[in-house]
Amino acid sequence: MKILIRNLDRETTEQELQAAFEAHGKVQSCDIVKEKTNGLSKGFGFVEMPKPGDAKIAVKSLNDTMLGANKIRVKYAENKAESQAKPKID
């Protein structure tokens, strides 16, 4: 299950992010999104956890908690295909 983490401290490393989620179960992958030009963090990232139960606990436990100098926001990532298929309401 893919999880979106927003409001990351720009100094947070992928290892720190992964360690926070591993406290709640196995982490399949962990990526912090970075600027192409300078390689600096954009302040958000994704974690994938293979077990939905572990992911649910991680989202509940880590949302609105401090990681580094920032309070992070954690939620399930939307599938791009699903979000593009939703009709826009004007």
Place of tokens 């990232």: 45
DSSP secondary-structure letter at 89?
P
**Residue 84: enclosing H or E segment and its boundaries?**
helix 80-85
Query: Strand, helix or coil at 37?
Result: coil
Nearest 5 degrees, angle CA 64-CA 69-CA 72? Answer: 25
- Please provide residue 77's backbone torsions phi and psi, each rounded to the nearest 5 degrees: -75, 140
pLDDT tier, 78 (very low <50, low <70, confident <90, very high otherwise): confident
Q: Indicate if the pLDDT at residue 86 is higher than 60.
A: no
pLDDT tier, 79 (very low <50, low <70, confident <90, very high otherwise): confident
State the pTM of this model.
Answer: 0.85
pLDDT given for residue 82 in this prediction: 56
**Residue 6: enclosing H or E segment and its boundaries?**
strand 2-6
Level-2 CATH architecture, domain 2-78: 2-Layer Sandwich (3.30)
